[in-house]
Structure 1
Amino acid sequence: MKKFLRTAVCCLAAILLCNGIIIGCSEYKKSDFAFGKHFKSGTPYTNGYAVVSEDDGEKVIDTDGKVIFSGNYDSIFIASPHLIGVEKAGKFGFMNLDGTTAIELQFYSAAPFSDGFARVTLRHGFGMQFNYTDEQGNLLLDFAVGSNMCTLKNMFGETIEKEISNTTNFQNGAAAVCDAEQNWALIDKNGQLLTDFMYKEMHEFSNMIGKCKDESGAIVFIDTAGKVLFRTDAADCYECISDRIRFRKNGLFGYLDRNGKVCIEAQFSSATDFGNDTPLAVVKDENGQAFVLGKDDKKIEIQQSIENIAPYADGLAVVKLTDGQYAYADTDGKICEQRFDFADICADGLCPVKIDGKFGYIEKVNLKF
């Protein structure tokens, strides 16, 4: 009997060892994936949904792993909280979650909805119309039939015609459109011009302000009405995330406030934006030491060497370690014990990772720090 018990204990220990289920083990197994399943590939969660790929095609799952949308499409993406973007045979459209058609497949390209509109393009002969659609399928900009000439009204009510060659997403009630000469202007949700075609570069708005470059190449920030807020002599600037604007000067990174005032001097060899829902950034000093940076300038040292870093989302930052493995950093700068072949942005408490070449989601609460 004793021999039997010793044998049973040894066999059990061997099974646990093979499956990595031993106290103190920090390796995730494929069996640890949320919902008890893995996929060929997948996306981070957006609006409570993620797109995953299986042998029989792409599908949309909710945060319980339940398939809520699938179909015979070449690609699928989350377009809004209640619309799915689909593509088949080179044409894009939008479907309701119940599988009914919301907007017919008619676009040459389409993007997710942002601030009530999705960027779309339509072909006409050998040309292209750059436009926006709302969730009911109404196009915003007025193009002549069979042409890429768009009719716009300026601030004075005058009608002008422009060939549109590019657009940005709507954010905070404004978007940018580019003419054939690569000059950019700002429009509102009625498609009316808020500025002339006077900028050489325009980016999406964030926190009500947007980055532009004027004809001299200088960086300018404007508000959603087109008013210039400030100029900067920085070599480059990024979006205004969490009321901070990351900038680069003399090869180093620092941060401006939304008024253009330097709030953290350029001193970091690399840096992320502050997270949208987690107002922290990850930075490295000139010696390669990584820190978690708060808006109060407080720095928390990260004890492990990091090769690449990503902004915080859902309270975690994806880090690539110097050995090529991926992990997550929490808001205290602690790196989780588990290691992954690949890791992506967390949302809704679920983190997309690859383990032994298999893709799946792990629950944030199961990470060990």
Structure 2
Amino acid sequence: MAKVGDAYGYLDTNGNDVIPPQFEEAKSFSQGLAAVKDGGKWGYLDTQGNWAIAPQFEAAGDFSEEGAIVTLPSGKGIIARDGTLQVQITRADVQALLPTSVTVGNVQISPFADGLARVTVELEGGRSDRIGFIDGAGNWAISLQEHPILDFSEGLAAIEIDGKYGYVDKTGQIAIAPQFKKAQPFSEGLAAVEFADKQLWYTWGYIDRSGETEIAPQFYSARSFSESLAGVGSVDRGSGYLDRTGTMVISRDTIPEFREGFPFSEGFARVRIGDWLGYIDRDGNIVIEPQYASAFDVSEGMARVDISGQWVDWLGGYDGTASPIYEARLEGSKWGYIQLPVR
């Protein structure tokens, strides 16, 4: 995806226009379709730039196996790949599920995650939101309730009750009792949690799906596992990556000035070394030297980067030293991509 002037279009990996810039807004492709805004309405393009679903929506989300969340004048809906409206949820539908003493305001539906979409209902009069979950057919898997619940991952979702976090299953039943200060989604069978019974500030560790401690609390920050590694911050060892045994396998011992590690994707992770971002492989080798003010995760062998606060498009060599062979044709911020090494 690229923006030229005020218009959005799409590039191939060589920087060539495959769908010329012409849209008011655009999103990345998902499941072979991309949501774009044209003439004030959202629709979906196929990879050839043809309309798969004509512009007709007030807002449009990415497609998943269950469909895509869209906003209609009458409310929210879930559409199939051919544009058929499978499910519609209006304010009146939601109001009918709640006591007459409360008045429904906005209704938001988050993208599907692990087969369920989170429905957040704002109530008027300063009342707390109600949160529930629906499946792709619009059935309520978890009815609306007062307790905040995050998105599902690996069959579990973090829930907050009386200031403590635990996890519920897809029926809404408590699977891990609320006991943590904070909780992240499960990934690769483990979840990073901040333990509430510790007095020190480095209280992050990891639990398994039964709630048992897998890696003892000892970190001041912790990310979810990705490709068997997780970025953490340790008081005595600094920032680095853990393996599933809790062993720090990438750290300041091998990368001086290592400050922050982000999730791995396609064998690479962006890392902050000193003040700049670069990329490493799973062995801790620096494959793109730290030089970017901001950067994104690798996708399809490429990563979007920002040099000195101004976005540029690099399709250079994997050591980051090759001259740019393409620069985005736009004024102001410049968006671009670097190519990671073939593994």
TM over 0.5: yes
Query: Match for residue 152 of structure 2?
Result: 205
Asked if residue 117 in structure 1 is aligned to residue 67 in structure 2, the reply is yes
CA 1:263–1:103: 2 relative to 1, 3 Å: same
CA 1:307–1:123: 2 relative to 1, 3 Å: farther
Q: Distance in 1 between matches of 2:288 and 2:44?
A: 41
Q: Cα offset for 1:298?
A: 2.0
Q: Distance in 1 between matches of 2:290 and 2:175?
A: 44
Query: Match for residue 25 of structure 2?
Result: 75
Q: Distance in 2 between matches of 1:99 and 1:184?
A: 37
Q: Distance in 1 between matches of 2:305 and 2:121?
A: 41
Q: TM-score, normalised by structure 1?
A: 0.72
Instruction: State the one-letter code of the partner of 2:172.
Output: G
Query: Match for residue 52 of structure 1?
Result: 2
Aligned equivalent of 2:265, options 309, 313, 319? 313
Query: Match for residue 92 of structure 2?
Result: 149
CA 1:218–1:152: 2 relative to 1, 3 Å: same
Count of residue pairs the alignment pairs up: 300
CA 1:122–1:192: 2 relative to 1, 3 Å: same
Gaps of 5+ in 2: 98-102, 124-128, 315-336
Q: TM-score, normalised by structure 2?
A: 0.77
Q: Cα offset for 1:152?
A: 10
Query: Match for residue 33 of structure 1?
Result: none
Q: Percent identity?
A: 22
* Contact persistence 2:6–2:24 (CA under 8 A): no
Asked if residue 190 in structure 1 is aligned to residue 137 in structure 2, the reply is yes
Query: Match for residue 134 of structure 1?
Result: 80
CA 1:352–1:196: 2 relative to 1, 3 Å: closer
Superposition pairs of residues 205-354 of structure 1, within 5 angstroms:
205-214=152-161, 216-249=162-195, 250=198, 251=201, 252-275=203-226, 278-287=227-236, 289-300=238-249, 301-302=251-252, 303-322=255-274, 324-336=275-287, 338-341=289-292, 342-354=294-306
Query: Match for residue 97 of structure 1?
Result: 47
Query: Match for residue 175 of structure 1?
Result: 117
CA 1:115–1:204: 2 relative to 1, 3 Å: farther
Instruction: State the one-letter code of the partner of 1:269.
Output: Y
* Contact persistence 1:304–1:335 (CA under 8 A): no
CA deviation map 1:120-152 (0-9, x unaligned): 22235xxxx2332222223343356xxx32269
Asked if residue 359 in structure 1 is aligned to residue 313 in structure 2, the reply is yes
SS state at 1:359 partner: coil
Query: Match for residue 44 of structure 1?
Result: none
Q: Cα offset for 1:350?
A: 1.9
* Contact persistence 2:159–2:178 (CA under 8 A): no
Larger radius of gyration: 1
* Contact persistence 2:27–2:35 (CA under 8 A): yes
Instruction: State the one-letter code of the partner of 2:176.
Output: F
SS state at 1:149 partner: helix
Instruction: State the one-letter code of the partner of 1:149.
Output: A
* Contact persistence 2:31–2:63 (CA under 8 A): no
* Contact persistence 1:150–1:162 (CA under 8 A): no
Instruction: State the one-letter code of the partner of 2:313.
Output: F
Q: CA RMSD in A?
A: 2.9
Q: Distance in 1 between matches of 2:96 and 2:168?
A: 20
With a CA cutoff of 8 Å and minimum separation of 6, indicate the structure with the bigger relative contact order: 1
* Contact persistence 2:163–2:181 (CA under 8 A): no
Q: Cα offset for 1:318?
A: 0.9
Q: Distance in 2 between matches of 1:337 and 1:70?
A: 30
Q: Distance in 2 between matches of 1:202 and 1:82?
A: 30
Instruction: State the one-letter code of the partner of 1:316.
Output: F
Q: Cα offset for 1:71?
A: 4.4
Q: Cα offset for 1:297?
A: 1.8
CA 1:350–1:229: 2 relative to 1, 3 Å: same
Q: Cα offset for 1:236?
A: 0.7
CA deviation map 1:80-135 (0-9, x unaligned): 231111013542211222222222222222221233322222235xxxx2332222
Richer in helix (by share): 1
Instruction: State the one-letter code of the partner of 1:293.
Output: L
Gaps of 5+ in 1: 1-50, 155-160
Q: Cα offset for 1:218?
A: 3.7
CA 1:143–1:328: 2 relative to 1, 3 Å: closer
